[in-house]
Structure 1
Amino acid sequence: MAVVLTAEEALEKAAKLILAGNPVAVPTETVYGLAADATNGEAVARIYDVKGRPRFNPLIVHVSDMEMADAIGEFDPLSRLLAEKFWPGPLTLVLPLKKSAQIHPLVRAGLDTIALRMPTGFISRLIARVGRPLAAPSANSSGRISGTSAAAVNADLGARIALVVDGGPTPVGVESTIVKSEGGRLRLLRPGGLAAEEIEAVAGVKLERGRKAGLEAPGMMTSHYAPGAKVRLNVTEIARGEALMAFGPARAKGAEGAKAVCNLSPKGDPHEAAANLFSMLRELDATGAAVIAVEPIPAEGLGEAINDRLRRAAAPRDIDGISA
């Protein structure tokens, strides 16, 4: 298994591994990421190999400041406004790639755009320490449940990497929101840890939904975040022996016969539910139940991101043309 060090003691060891071309599992405010030097093709290839991620699925590049971001992506006024308001934080912007950007082509998976995010916490300090942008998808086997704790990451990837940095449970709990600006219009490519309503309030325009053909950004695979169990959504009645992912104070019919119950938020708070989503999905999967039944969760605010992740967890595992 990997060495696990606290964020307070891991910076120099993590920097040494990154500069040597190795991926490191690190905490972010959203979920744990598998970080490597975005300018080094061998390092980026190791991310794909460790995760078992298909190489047509691009990666988010993380930066420590706007100077680094400006060296990589072309910001239009609307994208810059969002960066100024929400960075550092759980927002990823899809931008045209600057021709002079020193980002390895493997990161982009053939696209002429780049997905950029400025995170908080340990990963930001690590980027500043190595002086290079880091590609960092979620630290989990491709298609499986994202890790929101060092223990979950080590159990999944620990045999394939040298270091897991333990920053405690991630506070947001779901991946970043991905937005693309196109001629004064904004398109939501993936809902996430920043609610669409907050973005719209700053931008002054509505976020458009709907995807084009192919993958435009990381995190757009139809089947993703999947446990071993099947996932059944928006249930109003539980079959005996199913595991129950509950939400709010009222229970679905038959809940007393569930094999196990985890309540994302007894008080119905979407922020609490988002923070608990992946850890509770993992906990219910570990019970050995064949099915995880999920009570309805309102789609407003962070509920949009929660429902997005649950729909992908419930999708057929070969829907994107690969095995999850």
Structure 2
Amino acid sequence: MERNLRPELLAAGAAGVARAAELLRGGGLVAVPTETVYGLMARADRDASVAAIYRAKGRPSFNPLIVHVADLAAAHRLAVLDARAEKLAAAFWPGALTLVLPLREGAEVAPAVTAGLPTVALRCPAHPLMRAVLAESGLPLAGPSANRSGGVSPTRAEHVVASLGANVDAVLDGGACEAGVESTIIALRDNGRWQVLRPGPIPQEAIRAILGTECDAVTSQEIEAPGQLASHYAPGKPVRLNAETAAEDEFHIGFGNVAGDASLSASGDVIEAASRLYALLHEGAAASQPRIAVAPIPQDGVGAAINDRLSRAAA
């Protein structure tokens, strides 16, 4: 393919899915929408394909990738799932939950996917286009967010093109992503323990209701999953949090009664706020003001995930 033709823009539908699967089987990179954000997908079993993800994103090699699987049977081929993992998969898959599990011996996963760790992060996504690509390709797909490393995650195809450009072979355009923040990541530990490595659309309370035990605090500094870097999701400008008002040089992102220049949710709905978060950070990055201020967001439910992303964006 000629360099100036990249990326291919693929329409949602059977032809776009077939072309995406063809590129992926051949070792290419394709940005595909999920219910959370657009992912930069490559076949998870080929070293060269996974290396291309790291190159395209400028991503540090110690930061592992999530592997997307079509179903529970595919997950069993890659990881060891105990009874707790089975219960969580039954409750939340397909969906926005990623499980960090022991890597199965002999699993066909390129070493770079796990960054040398004995665990692998697995998710069974719910987005119909992503599920169609998984089925058509017949492959487990490694896929971080489809943007330059450390930047704001993409929730629209145009965000992918603006961030990665010719570094990706194709973008499958499925419109705006529904959830708007990346999946919840939990690690299942020995002795019944578990930890939230990254808050997301599925709140800790929902996981606790399934497992029946309290979540352990994360105290280790080791990077076990995406989204754990202290500075991440950055829009390229200073970000000030909990801002009821804004200075003249700040693009103000509002919430609820705080109107701002643009609002995450005028009604104070944290689910709507999550779906609009990255789009408004992109808007703030493109605004004339050199700084961004964000109104206070409650910590309830998916609000914990929003505040996690904002704190890393401001770091």
| Common fold: TM-score over 0.5 | yes
* TM-score, structure 1 normalization: 0.92
Q: 1:234 aligns with which of 234, 242, 256?
A: 242
| Counterpart selection for 1:3 from 8, 11, 14 | 8
Alignment partner, residue 288 of structure 2: 288
The match for 1:24 is 30
Q: Residue 54 of structure 2: SS of its match in structure 1? A: helix
Map of 2:273 onto structure 1: 273
Aligned to 1:33: 39
Please name the residue that 2:106 is paired with: 100
CA contact (8 A) 1:37 1:133 kept: yes
CA contact (8 A) 1:71 1:100 kept: no
Does the CA-based 8 Å contact 1:189-1:211 persist in structure 2?
no
Sequence identity of aligned pairs in percent? 48
Q: Residues of 2 paired with 1:304 and 1:106: CA distance?
A: 30
Q: State which of 222, 227, 230 in structure 1 corresponds to 2:230.
A: 222
Q: Secondary structure at the match of 1:84?
A: helix
Is the counterpart of residue 247 in structure 1 residue 255 in structure 2?
yes
The 8 Å contact of residues 53 and 142 in structure 1, kept in 2 or not, is answered as yes
SS at match of 1:50: helix
Distance 2:217 2:251 in 1: 32
Q: CA RMSD in A?
A: 1.1
Hey, what's the Cα distance between the residues in 2 that align with 1:200 and 1:82? 10
Distance 1:64 1:138 in 2: 18
User: What residue ranges of structure 1 are gaps of 5+ in the alignment?
Assistant: 256-260, 316-324
Partner of 1:312: 312
The equivalent of 2:207 in structure 1 is: 199
Q: In the alignment, which of 160, 166, 172 is matched to residue 159 of structure 1?
A: 166
Counterpart residue number, 1:116: 122
1:44 aligns with 2:50: yes
User: 1:267: Cα distance to partner?
Assistant: 0.6
Q: For 2:75 and 2:89, how far apart are their aligned partners in 1? A: 10
SS at match of 1:239: coil
In structure 1, how many angstroms separate the alpha carbons of the residues matched to 2:244 and 2:136?
51
Following the alignment from structure 1 to structure 2, what is the Cα–Cα distance between the partners of residues 151 and 220?
A: 26
Mapped partners of 1:66, 1:50: distance in 2: 30
**Corresponding residue for residue 299 of structure 1:** 299
Q: CA deviation at 1:84?
A: 0.8
Q: 2:144 aligns with which of 137, 140, 151?
A: 137
1 CA distance for matches of 2:129 and 2:169? 17
Q: Secondary structure at the match of 1:158?
A: helix
CA displacement 1:111-159 (0-9 Å, x = unmatched): 0000000002212221122211000000000000000000111111122
SS in structure 1 at match of 2:9: strand
Deviations 1:81-102 (A, max 9, x none): 1011100000000000000211
* Match for residue 84 of structure 2 among 57, 78, 98: 78
Is the deviation greater in 285-294 or in 139-148? 285-294
- Residue 186 (structure 2) aligns with: 179
Which deviates more, 100-109 or 213-222? 213-222
How many pairs align?
Answer: 307
Q: Conserved in 2, the CA contact under 8 Å of 1:92 and 1:177?
A: yes
Match of 1:210 in 2: 218
Match of 1:322 in 2: none
Contact 2:258 2:295 in 1 (8 A): no
1:128 aligns with 2:128: no
Distance, in Å, in 2 between the alignment partners of 1:309 and 1:229 is 15
Point out the more displaced range, 4-13 or 223-232. Answer: 4-13
Per-residue displacement from partner, 1:264-310 (whole Å, max 9, x unpaired)? 00011010000000001100110132110111101110000000000
The answer to whether the 8 A contact 1:145-1:278 is kept is yes
